Structure 1
């Protein structure tokens, strides 16, 4: 039986499974409008996920065919994966922030071989060992997920209300987890009368018990040095000031007291940055730093793909430390190492 939760005020959530992932599922929200239901995110592109979405909509008393639109918080496949199938079955529009739409466009236009070459170059520069690089250089590579995501037909413009007849849903740009991540503020009184300013669909930006991944914004053709962690921290403070009555995240469960959760996340990252400085008492490559960082399991037990994500997160933290003047690259090191200042 598909789990449907009624949040009141014409908002329900469905659990759409993510295959082989400890997160378990994405919470897809169904928002009633005067022209039919609108989804916030769609879930992973997988037959079991699609079946769960279809069954959940049936349990809500509606169907995929009745959908009016799809609002995507960010381009990751557990959020945007089923958008093309939803649009094909319903004719619904799909909306996304321009920064993530450009990633979708680039992903569709870039051959998989280019991604593998780029990843191998990035990991080599990060100091990854040859054993880790070998699969990327092999002709027998695993298929990458999400290489043909749906191109959105509408742009989510920060600060503007979305076209949801009969509802007031405003986009808030919250880069960090991705360049075009958005939270969506439902500017309506809380149906249970909870104090605060409406409800916030937070995507992966603010989760009740998980710190979202902050990695690098990857673009094989752009050498701009970004600061995604700095973007994320600034975006967090924006959400904290908003003080919604309730947060409806894309994973785990709904929660209240967003300012408190924001303070926890800000403190977590400051603590982590301080801890990394102690590790950087001796120069380390990003790979060596990732090996020494605290994760949810020992480094030896982290799967191959997750190690790539971990190294990206280590680099995002390094960039923040460099920007703050608390660490610097060691001149002449190859692969480049970093040390605390």
Structure 2
């Protein structure tokens, strides 16, 4: 997908609603769109920060300018890809806030997300479980466990306004990359169903525009993933069993630089189908189960 025309609001604190401001980090890429969007929660003297973003001095300075003179009490990370959590440590050093959010997770920087591997510096003071809450004056954030994109992924619900901060789990500009071994398609689909059952008013993803019809989008995403599964089964039925050959047939028009990520999503689907006994694997070759 093409990026929108510049200028982008990089470094500016945008007021989205009374309790929510957004600051865009200067890290655009094919995987991050115009960059990581850090959210500042609260309107009083105590604030929370969601997805502090990359450890970039300009971004951290922009966050501090937006925060002062208030005090940050919680730094929340949806997951530990390096475009989301590395600024947590320097922001904690500047503000004294606790880091509270997803569990730490570090894997080797392999596969299509080699540009954004897991953050080895992430050290939470408090790991939140599903349903656990953080509170400040006038705001309450509830952790919503949404594994799939990564096994440690959390969303955060702002109870006072009906907003859900979806990290990389749901984005309007692109589908999320589900990349094994940590990315899990069965878990991702279950997490989508979980969000579809909720009644959140608006989604604020970590990349791209806000989503004003969230249940409609999630319903479409579930349908899209099921369509991908049907495409895979059709190709397997025709004797096409190698992922590298499936990618250009399933993702026509996709930038070749993104083919490895598409291949990982196909692999995630195949692993889920294998777990259900629908397909079998022989090395790099996949086939329908007899």
TM-score (norm 1): 0.72
The answer to which structure has the higher helix fraction is 1
Match of 1:285 in 2: 242
Match of 1:74 in 2: 79
Moved over 6 A (4+): none
State the alpha-carbon separation in 2 of the partners of residues 9 and 30 from structure 1.
Answer: 11
| TM-superposition CA deviations, 1:201-231 (whole Å, max 9, x none) | 111111123111111134xxxxxxxx81111
TM-score (norm 2): 0.84
Match of 1:136 in 2: none
State the alpha-carbon separation in 2 of the partners of residues 237 and 144 from structure 1.
Answer: 27
Match of 2:196 in 1: 240
| TM-superposition CA deviations, 1:272-309 (whole Å, max 9, x none) | 111111222315234443454316625xx32xxx5543
1:36-115 pair list within 5 angstroms: 36-46=46-56, 50-58=57-65, 60=66, 62=68, 66-98=71-103, 101=104, 103-104=105-106, 107=107, 115=108
| TM-superposition CA deviations, 1:141-175 (whole Å, max 9, x none) | x9985553221111112112124454221111011
Question: Is residue 2:222 matched to residue 1:213?
Answer: no
State the alpha-carbon separation in 2 of the partners of residues 311 and 212 from structure 1.
Answer: 13
Aligned-pair RMSD on alpha carbons? 2.7
CA distance 1:154–1:81, change in 2 (3 Å): same
State the alpha-carbon separation in 2 of the partners of residues 13 and 158 from structure 1.
Answer: 24
Residue 144 of structure 2, aligned match among 161, 169, 172:
172
CA distance 1:268–1:294, change in 2 (3 Å): same
Q: Give 5+ residue unaligned stretches, structure 1.
A: 108-114, 124-141, 191-197, 219-226
Question: Is residue 2:30 matched to residue 1:25?
Answer: no
Match of 1:311 in 2: 263
State the alpha-carbon separation in 2 of the partners of residues 160 and 312 from structure 1.
Answer: 32
CA distance 1:252–1:90, change in 2 (3 Å): same
Larger radius of gyration: 1
CA distance 1:145–1:182, change in 2 (3 Å): closer
Q: Give 5+ residue unaligned stretches, structure 2.
A: 1-8
Q: 1:53 Cα deviation (Å)?
A: 3.8
CA distance 1:282–1:244, change in 2 (3 Å): same
State the alpha-carbon separation in 2 of the partners of residues 81 and 287 from structure 1.
Answer: 33
State the alpha-carbon separation in 1 of the partners of residues 245 and 39 from structure 2.
Answer: 40
State the alpha-carbon separation in 2 of the partners of residues 12 and 271 from structure 1.
Answer: 36
State the alpha-carbon separation in 2 of the partners of residues 150 and 295 from structure 1.
Answer: 37
